[in-house]
Amino acid sequence: MGSSGAKRSRSARPSAAAVPVGAPRQPPLHARVRASFERHPYPAADRFEPIWRLPAWRWMRACAMPGTSPDRPPIRVLVAGCGTGAEAYAIASAFPRAQVVGIDFSARSIAIARSCSKSGAAAPQFAEADLCDPTLPQQAILRKRFDFISCQGVASYVPDVDAALSNLRKLLTPKGMLYLGVNGAGHHSVRIRPLFRALGMDPTAMSDERSEATGRDVLRMYEILTRRREGELSDESPSYIANDVFGPINRCLPLGDWLALAGKAGLEYRGNLGTARFAGALLRPELLASLLGLKRAEVAAFFDGMISDVFHSLVLTPGEAKKKKERAGEPDFADATALMPWRPLVTLWDRTELEGVTPVERPVAISLTIPGVLRRATLECRFEIVEILRLADGKRSLAEIYKSSPLLAAARVESAIPSLFGLYHSNALQFLPPASR
């Protein structure tokens, strides 16, 4: 079997004769990606806006560090793939006491980023550096590790995503947090890029003004047929058209694939903005009961399998060594006994609406609003859920809450679990590990 496999392998290799005579030799992928962003830095100078475009800071902190203050600011921040610097300046403005560093492999982008500094304003440090370079963590500006790294809209375009994610993991402090924004399988380029070949165009490079104009025409057709706002994509900057619509690579993957890549790099999944919103739209206990056996990452992949989201906003932390078969770090909703020692905590949601709710037999509708995550999601729940939410302070276990409240004396936790599961995955409710852990 080994020899026949070797024969197949040798025969599968393209021979020199298989390459058309006179065909231009493509430079290595890495060089083509760099050249594309050198020609068209992102964001373009005329679109430079140093405003916060990341998910809400409190949401990211709560996902990564449950039980700690979600308002705690970062100390040292890395913007990995900073482009022309808009995001780095926005973070520096939001956290003026933090040390902010921006890196990018495009020398032209870094030059533009440095030129945008204003006297008296919080100024990040910028350096030319390649996320895929195995020596990246040893570079002088990066030797001191970061408690927050933002890598927004970058990993989908790097030539070696494994190397990039591994480097990001190494650059984090042990209790650091990585925000990773990446393209999903529902991204428009998945449909649009193959269409250029039908027009005799190369989707991996915007070669001239004609290809840019054609790209915009295709995007306008796409906007009309998908009922998007006209100009939403087609009026984007030339740098967006060149690197996102065209471009050497655009990695658009299902959420499960991104989580597998993150896990391979030693990163642990903590949350996804899309998953929280999907769970918030599905706060119906009778529907969620069938999902109770799924882990956090499995729930995220399940919802994405239905929706094929356009973009994934992931919160990741350095992975920790776990004992075999131990589900450390997340509660098991399929096992009521195992769930009881966990400590429920409401962090992101304002519970003042619960003050006027009185015990009744019929379900009560409560509204959930989490800034930047949920906008008035509605949950119809029995009064025992309201009581648990009132008492969820992160100090008492679920068992202690049931024991201490007269209103829960006759209630069975099994009937509450589907609602607690939905609240947990929508980030309206957290569960801290048992106090003994």
Q: Which residue has the tokens 């919080």?
A: 122
Same domain membership, residue 199 and residue 149: no
pLDDT of residue 24: 45
Q: And the tokens for 124?
A: 């990040």
Same domain membership, residue 197 and residue 169: no
pLDDT of residue 20: 37
CA dist list (Å): 21 to 15, 25, 143: 12, 11, 48
Flag whether pLDDT at 14 surpasses 50. no
Residue 13 inside a domain? The answer is no
Q: Using CA atoms, how far apart are residues 424 and 291, in angstroms rounded to an integer?
A: 13
Candidate from 76-80, 116-120, 164-168, 411-415 with smallest mean pLDDT: 116-120
Residue 47 inside a domain? The answer is yes
304 CA to centre of own chain:
13
321 in Cβ contact with 191 (< 8 Å): no
Same domain membership, residue 204 and residue 302: no
Same domain membership, residue 167 and residue 73: yes
Among the candidates 284, 318, 352, a domain finishes at 318
Same domain membership, residue 111 and residue 208: no
Give me the numbers of helices (H) and strands (E) for the chain, helices first please: 17, 11
Among the candidates 285, 318, 351, a domain finishes at 318
Residue 328 inside a domain? The answer is no
Same domain membership, residue 347 and residue 213: no
Which is it for strands 311-318 and 430-432: parallel, antiparallel or unpaired?
unpaired
Same domain membership, residue 362 and residue 255: no
The CATH number that applies at residue 393 is 3.90.930
425 in Cβ contact with 279 (< 8 Å): yes
Q: What is the mean pLDDT of residues 148-165?
A: 97
Q: Using CA atoms, how far apart are residues 247 and 235, in angstroms rounded to an integer?
A: 17
Instruction: Domain of residue 383: give its range.
Output: 336-432
Q: What is the mean pLDDT of residues 87-94?
A: 96
Same domain membership, residue 260 and residue 160: yes
Q: Which residue has the tokens 């070669």?
A: 207
pLDDT: which is higher, 417 or 357: 417
Q: And the tokens for 60?
A: 């990211």
Same domain membership, residue 83 and residue 72: yes
Among the candidates 197, 225, 245, a domain finishes at 245
Residue 147 inside a domain? The answer is yes
Q: Using CA atoms, how far apart are residues 253 and 180, in angstroms rounded to an integer?
A: 13
Q: Give how many domains the chain has, as a whole number.
A: 3
Same domain membership, residue 181 and residue 211: no
pLDDT in tens, 184-224: 999 999 999 999 989 988 888 887 888 899 999 999 999 99
Same domain membership, residue 283 and residue 136: yes
pTM above 0.85, yes or no: yes
432 CA to centre of own chain:
22
Residue 15 inside a domain? The answer is no
Provide the mean pLDDT of the chain: 88
pLDDT of residue 358: 75
Q: And the tokens for 91?
A: 């973070």
Flag whether pLDDT at 323 surpasses 50. no
Burial of 227 (C-beta count, 10 Å sphere; 0-12/13-18/19+)? exposed
Q: Using CA atoms, how far apart are residues 242 and 37, in angstroms rounded to an integer?
A: 8
Q: Using CA atoms, how far apart are residues 344 and 330, in angstroms rounded to an integer?
A: 12
pLDDT of residue 11: 37
From 373, 381, 365, 285, select the one nearest 333 (Cα to Cα). 285
Residue 373 inside a domain? The answer is yes
pLDDT: which is higher, 261 or 357: 261
Flag whether pLDDT at 327 surpasses 50. no
From 64, 57, 102, select the one nearest 84 (Cα to Cα). 102
pLDDT of residue 409: 85
Q: Using CA atoms, how far apart are residues 124 and 138, in angstroms rounded to an integer?
A: 20
Q: And the tokens for 271?
A: 């949350």
From 381, 388, 390, select the one nearest 361 (Cα to Cα). 381
- How big is the chain by its Cα radius of gyration, in Å? 25
What contacts 293, CB < 8 A, 6 or more positions away? 333, 334
Residue 329 inside a domain? The answer is no
Same domain membership, residue 192 and residue 179: no
The CATH number that applies at residue 279 is 3.40.50.150
426 in Cβ contact with 405 (< 8 Å): no
Residue 10 inside a domain? The answer is no
